[in-house]
Amino acid sequence: MDKNIVIQLTYLLSSILFIVGIKMMGKTATARNGNALSAVAMLIAVGITLVNQSILSYTEIFVGILIGSAIGAYFAQKVEMTQMPEMVAIFNGVGGAASTFVAISEYARVHQSPESLDFTIGISLLISVLIGSVTFTGSYIAFAKLKGIMKGGSITFKGQHQVNAILFLIMILACIMTLIDPQNELFIYTVLFLSLLLGVLTVIPIGGADMPVVISLLNSYSGIAAAATGFVLGNQVLIITGALVGSSGIILTQIMCKAMNRSLVSVLLGGFGQTATSGPSASSSDIVVKEVGVEETAMIFDSASNVIIVPGYGMAVAQAQHIVRELMELLEKKNINVKFAIHPVAGRMPGHMNVLLAEANVPYDKLVEMEQINDEFSNCDVCLIIGANDVVNPAAKTNPSSPIYGMPVLNVEKSRTVIVSKRSMAAGYAGIENELFGADNCLMLFGDAKSTLTTVVTEIKNM
């Protein structure tokens, strides 16, 4: 069989595996297998590309795969689940950087040869540089915010949007000049520099509760950059996979924006949580809380029939997912019905809570999305909130002056009893107080979630 046919068939196989893999990631029960299938598809695509281009020897290819696999295996074991958002940001940045490097190297090749830059290839090349560079620097700014290396909130300065607009127009002009005069290196490197700068300037004003949206949007950017690079190289599998990542990322971004009642434009303009808070949720002094101990908490659980657990980022920080699973199993042995309410933006990235609970072997059918479970809170005896804040704040429904007003939240306040496991009264990502904490049916269980729930489980066992 002709070598080219074998290569194209292999690319087709990789593309099919990618499509099936991403489809499987749409459901929690099949997501792990979908991820593995996509990894196999990537390995096949990379392998056949290297063999096809004959740019490396088989020894170099094997050594490269070995080194890359070792690095991946090391970080897969080392990185905690709480650090997964940061890792995703790094992945997005690496993808953007790869697209930029390939596009710049292709430009250098064309620049050194007498052939002119094809218009279609030129457009693809510029898109790859532009979006890849924005993704690279933007992702690492997101990483720095998530890691706490830089201020996690919104960073703004006077005339910020005007500066961004001017830089963008200059960059577009440089793109046009690159197409007109591709032999002048100044234009392409102007595009590169301004794209890197805009990646920083467009992400620094974004903070607080908008971070899950930023992560999914940058993921989409990395896919679009990869697809553009595929056109530059004439590589079909890169076009297909890049388009898959780009489109799925955009869809996820839209879902995140809808879950927060935010427009994508408002997210990109930044400033979430900057609004001066007023009204009943503005000051912790207006909130009188009722504290509950572990013994009383155990008694409340023991007398319940229906329990809904709401996980948040605090659960991830405390690494409490395993003791939460043990609590679930203990309650079920007492014929108490237990479910988990999952808000789309709970945590610091889409699906963060699902991943944590799946790691702790919580059955997939126990994880119920907000739309399906919100009506069940009125029949709930006990709602246990673990480290969640903004996604359970009734101010989103009752306080028009609140920055999160209009954001769909879980109807936890309708439960007969609400128990909030929290380290302190600190505000959430949005920087506002939670009026739920002062509700008549709300009890605060202060302390590290893992240690306090471990004690609660021990108390229940002794009953």
Nearest-5° Cα angle at 269, 314 to 242:
80
Please check whether residue 218 is in contact with residue 89, taking contact to mean a CB–CB distance below 8 angstroms: yes
Distance separating alpha carbons of residues 335 and 331, to the nearest angstrom: 7
Please check whether residue 311 is in contact with residue 356, taking contact to mean a CB–CB distance below 8 angstroms: yes
Six token digits for residue 398: 């009752």
User: HSE on the CB side for 96, CA within 13 Å?
Assistant: 27
Distance separating alpha carbons of residues 127 and 134, to the nearest angstrom: 11
Query: 386 by DSSP, 3-state: which?
Result: strand
User: HSE on the CB side for 250, CA within 13 Å?
Assistant: 8
Q: Which long-range contacts (CB under 8 A, 24 or more apart) does 303-306 make?
A: 303/381, 304/331, 304/336, 304/381, 304/382, 305/336, 305/337, 305/381, 306/336, 306/337, 306/376, 306/379, 306/380, 306/381, 306/382
What is the number of other CB atoms lying within 10 angstroms of the CB of residue 280? 17
Task: Report phi then psi at 417, rounded to 5.
Answer: -135, 135
Residue in this structure with the two tokens 């429904």, named with its chain if needed: 397
Please check whether residue 277 is in contact with residue 432, taking contact to mean a CB–CB distance below 8 angstroms: yes
User: HSE on the CB side for 416, CA within 13 Å?
Assistant: 11
Q: Is 365 a catalytic residue?
A: no
Residues in the chain: 463
Distance separating alpha carbons of residues 343 and 156, to the nearest angstrom: 29
From the candidates 2, 210, 381, 390, which is the catalytic residue? 390
Known catalytic residues are: 390
